[in-house]
Amino acid sequence: MTEVTSPNTTETDPIAEPAPVGTSILPASSKKLFILSAIIITILRIAEPMDRAMTNTLSAMVAILTFALYFAWLLFRSHLSIATRKRIGLTSCIILAIAASMFKITAVDGFLIPTIRLRWSAAPDQSLTSINDEILARDTISTTEGHFDFPKFLGPKGQPFITDAVWNEDPLTPESIRQQWRRPIGAGWSAYSAVSVEAKQEGSKSVSGIAITMQQRDNQEITTAVDIESGAPIWAITNQGRHETVLGGIGPRSTPTIQNGKAYTLGAFGILNCIEVSTGDVIWTHDLLALIGSSAEEDASMISWGRSSSPLVVDNLIIVPLGGKPGKPSHSLIAFDSETGKEKWRAGDRQVSYSSPIVATLDGKRQIVIVTENNVEGHDIEDGALLWQYNDWTGFSNSRASTSQPVPINETDILLTKGYGYGAARIKITRSAEGKFPFVATEVWTNPTVLKTKYTNVVLVGSEIIGLSDGVLQSVDVETGESNWKKGRFGHGQILMVADVLIVQNENGPLHFLKLQERGFQELLEIDAMSDLSWANLCLFENQLLIRNSVETVCYQLPLSRISH
């Protein structure tokens, strides 16, 4: 007898694969992971005291970890077939390998946003011709003292504020700012210093200007003097060596100092030159690394982004930070005779920073003030004797570095600013009958949330301190240290106050002309001056604004008159 099976009855196959529980490539657990990561990144980005570059780094790490965990789940725990998971893993490895072999990170901006280029592409400076091919025959020149020279870092007074000027046009228009010339330049963050010269032509004399900066072309570190009228090189001094890091860029970064017909320059590897401005002849030179018995590699391990300090000329002395070899004693400063180059003294015991020494009169004592790697010091000009120390300004020259200039506020007080979450501090220097040193430094106020100047400096305008705080323009009350206002994102660019107009060069190149107001500023004009990373400071000679980055240099004529006092 045959058994009949009902058509509605289903038999279970004991060897059949069970149906998958779920085939989604984004299960609930992964969604929660992505939501948690988004919350963490949001919290990081709104944390006010934090450095934005560190915020970007931590955000990137959270994002990478999130995708790595998700990718691991996709390959090893998901319900995709083994063949599909193998294809995903193999394809991903191939794509990553191709990308790594084709591209490289060549630079980062102040927020650690990378610049990516093809691995086989040369740096822009390596495609430039020899600087000697650009030098044209020139008439004999001699330097002369001009009322409107810009002879050193940040300007004639060592602060980015030009007061002896009047703007001739209101409102400013794009036609107001006339481009005088534009030329390619080698890499580097060295700004221009500019002085007046007399050019002798057929028995007559015409007063013009000469500007000096430093640049990198391939393996040559070059000091260049250019005619301000045309931008053409007049002479060039070359030293062998190439300083290059992803975080710091390529080339020299110290701004020359010009005084009494001589230019003093400091290369990224510590070559200190004294140059006759009129001829380009080297009068004397010192290798700072040789003086401390260090190599370029050892120096780079301590001062990762190259020696950046601008030489200080005072009382027939040329003074620069010296530092020391790893594991050996350091000297904060070294002084040479400005005429002969003979060493006069060494002083202090700290490693160098990226700030430059200044002269200030504090509590009646004219002295040198220097921000070192991990403190601030005052030194006697004559013999370098240590007058005082402020040791709560910490850091390292290969991490959390000090770059900004100390700013004298009055006859006793100094303002300090720094990025990396440090902010600002006002300290008072007074004589002391007790203690280790003849002067003592005491805090007036500190505020880690204001004036976080990573690569830039501030300007004192009345009772306000104006500067780029982690990329945002900010005004701070000099008496209290509290923020007046904070507005506008310009990146880690540079500033120059000219009369009542603040010129800001965005880190990405554009120039902004701003009128400061009680609760912010009015933007008068923006011009697309450059389109690449721009960290060099601005230089104003008479009414000619000289700017540069690692690719090109530009001179603009500004609609202003200079006032001779």
Confidence of residue 256 (pLDDT cuts 50, 70, 90): very high
Tokens of 563: 């006032």
Mean pLDDT of 504-522: 96
> Looking at residue 483, what is its pLDDT?
97
> Looking at residue 3, what is its pLDDT?
44
> Looking at residue 18, what is its pLDDT?
45
Confidence of residue 200 (pLDDT cuts 50, 70, 90): low
> Looking at residue 14, what is its pLDDT?
43
Is the confidence at residue 300, as pLDDT, over 90? yes
Mean pLDDT of 333-361: 98
Q: Which stretch of 189-203, 209-223, 549-563 has the lowest confidence by average pLDDT?
A: 189-203
Mean pLDDT of 527-554: 96
Mean pLDDT of 331-350: 97
CA distances from 240 to 65, 304, 557 (A): 43, 19, 35
Q: Which stretch of 51-65, 301-315, 503-517 has the lowest confidence by average pLDDT?
A: 51-65
Mean pLDDT of 382-386: 97
Tokens of 117: 């280029």
Model confidence pLDDT, tens digit, residues 417-463:
999 989 999 999 999 988 889 999 999 999 999 999 999 999 999 99
Nearest to 455 by CA among 527, 387, 506: 506
The 3-state secondary structure of 252-273, one letter per residue: CCCCCEEECCEEEEECCCCEEE
Average pLDDT, the chain: 91
> Looking at residue 42, what is its pLDDT?
87
Confidence of residue 12 (pLDDT cuts 50, 70, 90): very low
Is the confidence at residue 48, as pLDDT, over 90? no
Sign of CA dihedral 489, 406, 326, 324: positive
Is the confidence at residue 15, as pLDDT, over 50? no
Mean pLDDT of 319-333: 96
Is the confidence at residue 13, as pLDDT, over 50? no
Model confidence pLDDT, tens digit, residues 118-163:
999 889 999 998 898 888 766 678 888 788 999 999 999 999 999 9
Contact between residue 59 and residue 44 where contact means Cβ atoms under 8 Å apart: yes
Spatial distance between the Cα atoms of 63 and 393, rounded to a whole number of angstroms: 33
Contact between residue 520 and residue 514 where contact means Cβ atoms under 8 Å apart: no
Contact between residue 173 and residue 373 where contact means Cβ atoms under 8 Å apart: no
Instruction: Say what percent of the chain tops pLDDT 90.
Output: 79
The highest-level CATH class for domain 145-185+450-565 is mainly beta
Spatial distance between the Cα atoms of 196 and 198, rounded to a whole number of angstroms: 7
CB within 8 Å of 436: residues ≥ 6 apart: none
Q: Which stretch of 307-316, 393-402, 457-466 has the lowest confidence by average pLDDT?
A: 393-402
Is the confidence at residue 475, as pLDDT, over 80? yes
- Helix 28-45 crosses helix 52-76 at what angle (to 10 degrees)? 170
Instruction: Say what percent of the chain tops pLDDT 70.
Output: 92
User: Per-domain residue ranges for the chain?
Assistant: 28-102, 145-185+450-565
> Looking at residue 435, what is its pLDDT?
81
Contact between residue 504 and residue 524 where contact means Cβ atoms under 8 Å apart: no
Is the confidence at residue 1, as pLDDT, over 60? no
Confidence of residue 10 (pLDDT cuts 50, 70, 90): very low
Spatial distance between the Cα atoms of 477 and 459, rounded to a whole number of angstroms: 12
> Looking at residue 525, what is its pLDDT?
96
> Looking at residue 454, what is its pLDDT?
93
Helix ranges (DSSP H) in 161-315:
288-291, 296-302
